[in-house]
């Protein structure tokens, strides 16, 4: 069943389910072991039939791949490994014909060090206009040999690298909040702003429906670049600190101008912010009426599987979003976080499990993790607003925790001095079909194996193996998405909390739809007259909802 022609509703994004394609790992069309646009084109019918509304594609621009493509060397072209601009145009047209909208990833905080602007900056003198597009500063100390401040890279080590000047001597330092190959650009520079405006117009002109904004909370830096004073950055806590480079109020003016650019198009062009901020109130500032349309709700992603914490997270998010008239955007995983099956397989205390190193020491029960992930999917898809599904989530894939060290590619691995294994475990290529790797990820006769090795156990989790198996995760997602489309109460709107015992949550959507989630309570009876539309797992013999299970009901 295809989604059908594009719905023209200007507000489609308020209810949308958007599927994240991590392009290197989704589908390989040309057999080099790396996902690409031709592979994605072949799989578009799968995505349309899944019942999603749009696809977000991670960076596909020319890149030395020091950070999986988030090191962009040319903002308005396609990485040859992935295809050509013509392939991209064809893919966008085909997606639109299938009723799918396309969002790209835009990376405004930094460029690749191979971007022509950075090469020009290195060749130019201190104080030149070429250097002013980035954040170059003199070092501290008599010979400038100490970095300009105490800022740390997100991947470990200093956020500053010293360059060699034309005279062959050590010179200025440049800022990179991520790898040294990702120099931060200076958003107070008018050329930078114009460059991104032109980039958005370029892709909008090719039919792209919106952008996911990478590190949306990082663009504004405090005047004078003062010390942080500590390297700690708790991504989501109630406490707001005046941080010199994360979530500064100055970012909002940039997004107001992006919104006015997007609004010059007749078909709505939309944004979703990747903003790691302290609390839902701070997040909601990004989605005020004249700013971005949506922002990922990472508070929900990180919440442990616990009724009270989840309820609080949902209530706070909905209230903060409602106050600015924006829909909430739910997300359970992405290419930066440990897959939810593996997070939920661990004991769920107040610890926030985000990185592999947060959980490898904890005991794991993967059957439990999978049961909770199924229940979480129904919870997420019943909540008011939009949702994201990360590729492989619909297959119930777990994090691959035991990748051999010699295949690890996440820059965090080397940059942490090989102490943090990084994010490769959620980026392993998708299993489509067949009994052995590459599981249909690459075509037959491929010249190279998948760029990260797939576990043999995935033969039971391929799309082919799960299709038609009514107990499978894939069929659960398919049914849930089909029901979501057919129930006007779902998607954008409000919820009503229903009374249930401790350890459980229940809410209604409209007069006829309800969702009950049992996290850790006794089995919950169904309300009288209710009819089960979908359940994430078996009910008890007497028809009650056991723990780690969600049901969708109608009256
Ligand atoms: C975002 C991306 C992540 C990348 C980082 C730097 O957090 O999601 O993958 O490493 O930005 O661009």
Give the pTM. 0.97
Residue 117 and residue 114: Cα distance in Å, rounded? 8
Cβ of residue 276 lying under 6 Å from some atom of ligand 1: no
Nearest to 27 by CA among 17, 13, 37: 37
424 lines ligand 1 (CB under 6 A): no
Q: Would you state the pLDDT for residue 258? A: 98
Distance from Cα 142 to the centre of ligand 1, integer Å: 35
Which tokens hold the place of 354? 């985000």
Q: What is the pLDDT of residue 7?
A: 64
463-506 pLDDT, tens digit per residue, is 999 999 999 999 999 999 999 999 999 999 999 999 999 999 99
Alpha helices, DSSP H, located in 134-236: 190-205
Residue 90 parent element (H or E): helix 85-97
Q: What is the secondary structure of 252-308 as a DSSP string? A: HHHHHHHHHHHTTSSS--EEEE----SSHHHHHHTTSTTS-SEE-BHHHHHS-S-HH
Indicate the helix (H) or strand (E) that contains 484: helix 473-486
Cβ neighbourhood burial of 394 (10 Å; 0-12, 13-18, 19+): buried
The answer, yes or no, to whether residue 1 has pLDDT greater than 70, is no
SS (H, E, C) 159-175: CEEEEECCCCCEEEEEE
Q: How remote is the C-alpha of 309 from its chain's centroid?
A: 22
56 lines ligand 1 (CB under 6 A): no
pLDDT, tens digit, for every residue of 499-540?
999 999 999 999 999 999 999 999 999 999 999 999 999 999
Task: Using the structure block, give the residue that is written with the tokens 């070092």.
Answer: 139
Distance 80 CA to ligand 1 centre (A): 21
Look at residues 98, 106, 323, 301 and name the one whose alpha carbon lies nearest to residue 215: 106
For helices 251-262 and 190-205, the axis angle rounded to 10 degrees is 30
| Helical (H) or strand (E) element with 373 | helix 366-382
As to burial, measured by CB atoms within 10 angstroms (0-12 exposed, 13-18 middle, 19+ buried), residue 532 is middle
Vertex 340 angle, CA 335 and 341, to 5°: 125
Among protein residues, the one whose CA lies closest to atom 7 of ligand 1 = 215
Residue 241's pLDDT is what?
72
């Amino acid at each position: 069943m295809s989604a059908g022609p594009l719905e023209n509703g200007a507000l489609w994004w308020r209810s949308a389910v958007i599927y994240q394609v991590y392009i290197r790992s989704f589908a390989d069309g040309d057999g080099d072991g790396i996902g690409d646009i031709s592979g994605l084109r072949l799989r578009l019918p799968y995505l349309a039939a899944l019942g999603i509304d749009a696809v977000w594609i991670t960076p596909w621009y020319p890149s030395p791949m020091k950070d999986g493509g988030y090191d962009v060397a040319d903002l308005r072209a396609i990485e040859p490994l992935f295809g050509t601009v013509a392939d991209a145009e064809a893919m966008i047209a085909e997606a639109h014909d299938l009723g799918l909208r396309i969002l790209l990833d835009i990376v405004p905080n930094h460029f690749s060090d191979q971007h022509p602007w950075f090469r020009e900056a290195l060749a130019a003198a201190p104080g030149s206009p070429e250097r002013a597009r980035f954040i170059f500063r003199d070092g501290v100390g008599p010979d400038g040999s100490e970095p300009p401040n105490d800022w740390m890279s997100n991947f470990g080590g200093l956020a500053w690298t010293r360059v060699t000047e034309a005279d062959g001597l050590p010179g200025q330092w440049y800022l990179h909040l991520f790898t040294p190959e990702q120099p931060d650009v200076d958003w107070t520079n008018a050329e930078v702003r114009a460059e991104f405006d032109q980039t958005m117009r370029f892709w909008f002109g090719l039919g792209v429906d919106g952008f996911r904004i990478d590190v949306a909370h990082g663009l504004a830096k405090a005047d004078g670049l003062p010390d942080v004073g500590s390297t700690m950055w708790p991504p989501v806590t109630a406490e707001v600190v005046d941080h010199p480079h994360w979530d500064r109020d100055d970012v909002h003016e940039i997004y107001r101008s992006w919104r006015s650019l997007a609004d010059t198009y007749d078909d709505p062009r939309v944004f979703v912010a990747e903003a790691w901020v302290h609390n839902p109130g701070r997040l909601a500032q990004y989605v005020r009426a004249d700013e971005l349309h949506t922002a990922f709700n990472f508070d929900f992603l990180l919440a442990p599987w616990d009724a009270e914490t989840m309820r609080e997270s949902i209530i706070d998010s909905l209230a903060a979003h409602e106050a600015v008239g924006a829909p909430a955007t739910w997300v359970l995983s992405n290419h930066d976080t440990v897959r939810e099956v593996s997070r939920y397989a661990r004991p769920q205390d107040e610890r926030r499990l985000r990185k592999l190193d947060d959980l490898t020491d904890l005991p794991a029960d993967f059957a439990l993790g999978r049961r909770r992930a199924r229940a979480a999917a129904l919870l997420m898809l019943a909540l008011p607003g939009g949702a994201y599904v990360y590729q492989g989530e619909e297959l119930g894939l777990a994090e691959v925790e035991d990748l051999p060290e010699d295949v690890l590619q996440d820059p965090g691995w080397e940059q942490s001095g090989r102490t943090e294994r990084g994010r490769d475990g959620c980026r392993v290529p998708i299993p489509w079909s067949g009994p052995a790797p590459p599981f249909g990820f690459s075509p037959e006769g491929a010249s190279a194996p998948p760029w990260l090795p797939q576990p043999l156990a995935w033969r039971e989790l391929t799309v082919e193996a799960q299709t038609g198996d009514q107990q499978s995760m894939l069929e659960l997602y398919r049914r849930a998405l089909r029901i979501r489309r057919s129930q006007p109460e779902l998607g954008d709107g409000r919820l009503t909390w229903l009374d249930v015992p401790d350890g459980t949550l229940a809410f209604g959507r409209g007069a006829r739809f309800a969702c009950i989630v049992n996290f850790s309570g006794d089995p919950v009876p169904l309300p009288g007259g209710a009819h089960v539309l979908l359940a994430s797992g078996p009910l008890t013999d007497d028809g009650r909802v056991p723990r780690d299970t969600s049901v969708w009901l109608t009256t």
